[in-house]
A and B are shown apart, each in its own frame.
Chain A
Amino acid sequence: MSNTLPALLFVGSGVALTLELLIGGIAVGVLLGTSLAILRYMYKGICGNCIGRIVSVIRGTPLILQLSIVYFITPVLLDCKLSILATGIIAFGINSSAYVSEILRAGVESLPKGQFEAAKTLEITSCYMWKDIILPQVFVNIFPAFINEIVSLLKETALISVIGGMDIMRKSQIIAAEHYEYFTPLCLAGAYYYGLVILIEYIGQKIEKRKFYAKNS
Chain B
Amino acid sequence: MLKIHKVSKALSNVRILDEVSLDVKKASIFGLAGPSGSGKSTLLRCIQKLETPDSGSIDYSCRVCFMFQDFQLFPHMTVLQNLVYAPTLKDKANAKEHIDKAKMMLKNLGIESKINDYPRTLSGGQKQRVALARSLMINPDVLLCDEPTSGLDVSTIMDVVSLLKSVNNIGVTIVIASHDLDFLTKISDRIVLLKNGKIAIDIIPSQTPNSVETLKGFY
Binding site for B on A (CB under 8 A): 112, 114-115, 117-118, 120-125, 128, 132-133, 136-137, 140, 212-217
Contacts and interface: CB of A to CB of B under 8 A. Distances in A.
B138 A123 contact: yes
Counting chain B CB atoms within 10 Å of each CB, the highest count among A123, A212, A215 belongs to: A123
A120 B66 CA distance: 10
Contacts of A115: 72, 74
A122 B120 contact: no
Contact of A117 (B50, B75, B127, B134): B50
The listed residue with most B CB atoms (<10 A of its CB), out of A121, A128, A212, A215, is A121
Given A133-B74, A140-B76, A214-B120, A114 B68 contact: yes
Contacts of B118: 212-214
Interface residues of B, number: 25
Given A115-B74, A125-B89, A214-B121, 18 more contacts: A112-B72, A117-B66, A117-B72, A122-B65, A122-B85, A122-B86, A122-B138, A124-B89, A132-B85, A213-B76, A214-B75, A214-B118, A214-B120, A217-B70, A217-B71, A217-B74, A217-B119, A217-B127
Interface of B: 48, 50, 64-66, 68, 70-76, 85-86, 89-90, 118-121, 127, 134-135, 138
Given A124-B89, A214-B118, A137 B76 contact: yes
Nearest to A125: B89
Nearest to A124: B86
Contacts, number: 64
Given A123-B86, A123-B90, A132-B85, A213 B65 contact: no
B120 to A, nearest CB: 3
Contact of B72 (A118, A125, A140): A118
Contacts of B48: 121
- What are the nearest 7 A-B pairs in CB distance? A214-B120, A118-B72, A122-B86, A217-B119, A114-B72, A217-B73, A121-B66
A62 to B, nearest CB: 38
Contacts of B74: 115, 118, 133, 137, 217
12 contacts: A112-B70, A115-B72, A115-B74, A118-B72, A121-B48, A121-B50, A121-B65, A121-B66, A122-B65, A124-B85, A128-B89, A213-B75
Nearest to A120: B50
Contacts of A123: 86, 90, 138
Residue with the highest number of chain B CB atoms closer than 10 Å, among A114, A132, A140, A217: A217
A216 B72 CA distance: 9
Contacts of B76: 136-137, 140, 213
Contacts of B66: 117, 121
Contacts of B75: 137, 213-217
B86 A217 contact: no
A202 B27 CA distance: 58
Contacts of A140: 76
Contacts of A212: 118
A214 B76 CA distance: 7
Contacts of A132: 85
